[in-house]
Amino acid sequence: MPSHPDGIRAPQIAADQMPSHVAVIMDGNGRWAEQRGLPRHEGHRAGIAAVYEMVYGALEIGLRHLTVYMFSTENWKRGTEEITTILGATQRELDEGPLRDMNVRQRWSGRPDKLPEDLVHSLRREEHRTRTRTGLTLTTCINYGGRDEITRTAAALAQAAREGEVDPHLLGEDDFARHLPHPDMPDVDLLWRTGNEQRTSNFLPWHAAYAELYFTPGYWPDNDRSDLWQAITEYSRRQRRHGAVPTPLTSPEN
Ligand code: IPE
Ligand code: IPE
Ligand code: MG
C-alpha cells in the first residue's frame, strides 16, 4: 500500500473512541472540474483516486467499515456522458484497480436494474471473490437510494407476513433490520459529506439514524487520507448520548 505522499501517519485513536463505520457522501467532483475549466466527467475520474486514498487511510487507522456513495437513484437525471464516466470508472476499478489485491472485502449496495450488465457482474464477482477478507469492509453504493432500500425491506417483510413467518402485530426494529438487503451492515457512527453541502441526499436513512454528522467545504477530489483521519479525530471528541444523560466520571453512589 503506498504511504501518504507527505509521510503523514495515522493518528492514534483510543479503541473506545474509534468509529466502527464511517459513511461518506463524496460530493463536489463536478465543481472541482468546473473550477479548473474541465468537463464534469474529469472530476469523477479524479474522484476515484480520492476513493483509493480513503481506503488506504481506513486500513492504516484500522477502521472496520467504510461505505461510499458513488451513484444515487437520483443521479440518473444527469447527462449520459457523465453517467457513463461514473459507472465506467467504477467498473475499471473493480476489474483492474489497486484495491483488488488488498485486504478489503468489497460489497455493493443498490439496485441492479438500469445498471450495465457488465458492471453488475463485476460487482457481484468482487463481492464473492473478496468475501473472506478481514481488513476492511468497503461498501460501494451504486444505484443506491435510502427510500428504495426501506421500500424493498417493507416489501420483504410484507411477503414474510403473508407466508406466516412474522406476525405484523409483533414486529420490532430488529425484525425490520433482519430484512434489509444487507442485514449485517452495522449502524453508521460517522457520516461525512464533502463539497460544502449540508444534506444527506437519500443516503443510508436507516443506518445513519443516530450518526454523528460532519460536513467539510472542500471538493471530493481535493481530499486524501489525512482528511479521513481528521474526520475520525473530530468524531473521537464528540460525546454520544443516544438519548441518555451523560455518565458522570465518578458517581456519588459508588
Ligand atoms: C459527487 O460529485 C459525485 C456524484 C454525485 C456521482 P458531484 O458530481 O455531485 O459534484 P457537484 O456536486 O456537482 O460538484
Ligand atoms: C449525492 O450527491 C450522491 C453521491 C455523492 C453519489 P449529489 O450531488 O447527487 O446530491 P445532491 O443533488 O446535492 O442532493
Ligand atoms: Mg453534488
pLDDT in tens, 224-252: 999 999 999 999 999 999 999 987 766 55
Distance CA 151, CA 135 (A): 32
Distance in Å, CA 241 to ligand 2 centroid: 29
Nearest ligand 1 atom to alpha carbon 71: 6
What is the reported pLDDT for 249? Answer: 67
What is the reported pLDDT for 110? Answer: 98
Range of the domain at 75: 16-236
Q: Give per-residue pLDDT as tens, 135-149.
A: 999 999 999 999 999
Does residue 141 fall inside a structural domain? yes
What is the reported pLDDT for 103? Answer: 97
Does residue 246 fall inside a structural domain? no
Does residue 247 fall inside a structural domain? no
Ligand nearest to the CA of 71: 2
What is the reported pLDDT for 253? Answer: 58
3-state secondary structure of 138: strand
Does residue 7 fall inside a structural domain? no
Give the domain CATH number at 135. 3.40.1180.10
With a 6 Å cutoff on the Cβ, whether 143 touches ligand 2 is no
Does residue 6 fall inside a structural domain? no
With a 6 Å cutoff on the Cβ, whether 110 touches ligand 1 is no
Q: Which residue of the set 75, 189, 223, 224 is catalytic?
A: 75
What is the reported pLDDT for 134? Answer: 96
What is the reported pLDDT for 247? Answer: 74
With a 6 Å cutoff on the Cβ, whether 55 touches ligand 2 is no
pTM for the model stands at 0.96
Q: Tell me the average confidence (pLDDT) per consecutive run of 10 residues in the chain, 254 residues long.
A: 91 98 98 98 96 98 98 97 96 96 98 98 98 98 98 98 96 97 97 98 98 98 98 97 83 56
Distance in Å, CA 20 to ligand 1 centroid: 26
Distance in Å, CA 219 to ligand 1 centroid: 9
Does residue 114 fall inside a structural domain? yes
Between the two ends of the chain, the Cα-to-Cα distance in Å is 49
With a 6 Å cutoff on the Cβ, whether 195 touches ligand 1 is yes
Q: What share of the chain is helix, strand, coil (3-state, %, to 5)?
A: 45, 15, 45
Distance in Å, CA 4 to ligand 2 centroid: 28
With a 6 Å cutoff on the Cβ, whether 142 touches ligand 2 is no
Ligand nearest to the CA of 29: 1
Distance in Å, CA 4 to ligand 3 centroid: 27
With a 6 Å cutoff on the Cβ, whether 91 touches ligand 1 is no
Does residue 164 fall inside a structural domain? yes
- Which residue is associated with the grid cell 474529469? 42
Distance CA 198, CA 214 (A): 9
Number of domains, the chain:
1
DSSP state string for 178-234 = HTSSSTTPPPPSEEEE-SS----TT--TTTTTTPEEEE--S-GGG--HHHHHHHHHH
Closest CA to 106 of 60, 67, 145: 67
Conformational region of residue 91, where left means phi above 0, alpha means psi within -120 to 50, and beta covers everything else: alpha
Active-site annotation holds for 75:
yes
What is the reported pLDDT for 1? Answer: 87
Residue located nearest, by CA, to atom 9 of ligand 2? 75
User: Residues 105, 110, 115, 117: is their CA dihedral positive or negative?
Assistant: positive
Bridge partners, residue 140, by sequence: 68, 108
